[in-house]
Amino acid sequence: MKSVPFPKLVASSVFTKCVDAKRNGVEKNNLRAVASIVTKASKQYVLKGKKGLLYTLPRQSKIGIIKGKVMENLYTNNLVSNKSKARHLYNELRHSIKHNRCPYCSHRDVSTLDHYLPKAVFPVYAVTPANLVPSCKDCNDCKRTTISKMSDEQFIHPYFDDPDFDVWLVAELTTGNKPSVSYSVKPGTRFSTTVAERICYHFSKLKLNSLYSAQAAVEITAIRLQLERLSDSGGEPEVTNYLAEQFESRSVLGKNNWQTALYLTLSQSHWFCDGGFKLFS
């Protein structure tokens, strides 16, 4: 999980362009009639988001004279649809992420837009850019129907939160005949209690330990031959130096990237560097 730049698209403009793309004249006029309500709600969303208070926003089944389903359809038919004149706005949001990496898991490729607050429950934000986060399908599916009722039970919001300002992700090496790597969350004292709990909640709900542990096993298997050659030529010091260099290189991906955490742990393990890596298969 990591922060990404706030969308450049203006909420009122996106709403207007989606409405203009509609063919149904009556529905179009009804939507135009609630434009001020949607714009005001979008501004309130940003204010709450900056304070970590999105969980306090009220649920709405109607927006003025408009039923929530109409707003949901506005997103599906007039922002997402390839036939819509507003589709370029969807593309701009979806492709705004550096390296196309999902900000929720920091690993899989972005393939869709996630409604941070589900559009079925909060339809007024159905086309609000600040509520549309580029995401991979897995993360989108995991959080699809989740509704937070408490401050510490909120997913990290990539537009408003920066969980990478300090280390919280730890890779833990289990030694023995059947070694393995697992991941856990251990936020430092620089994180507030609420943010620390939100990181733990996010990590657990999106099942990131399973994702990262599986990737770590593949990574170790992929470098095993290289480690064996280094061990044969220079022993434990050569292996340790190699892993330390890999940690330094991976650090550019973020303090809490799963590879960064993995190589730090491996480089600090005497057991692993002294030949324990040979037990991974």
Backbone angles phi, psi at 206, to 5 degrees: -90, 5
H/E element holding 226? helix 208-250
**Chunked in runs of 10, what are the mean pLDDT values of the chain (281 residues)?**
92 95 87 94 96 93 90 94 92 91 95 95 96 96 86 95 93 94 94 94 96 96 96 95 96 94 97 94 79
Q: What is the pLDDT of residue 146?
A: 82
Q: What sign results for the dihedral spanned by CA atoms 139, 170, 159, 124?
A: positive
Q: What is the pLDDT of residue 237?
A: 96
CA distance 231 to 196: 39
Q: What is the pLDDT of residue 279?
A: 92
User: In Å, what is the CA distance from 51 to each residue of 1, 15, 170?
Assistant: 18, 24, 27
CA distance 218 to 215: 5
Q: What is the pLDDT of residue 258?
A: 96
User: Is the whole-model pTM more than 0.85?
Assistant: yes
Extract the tokens encoding 273: 């560097």
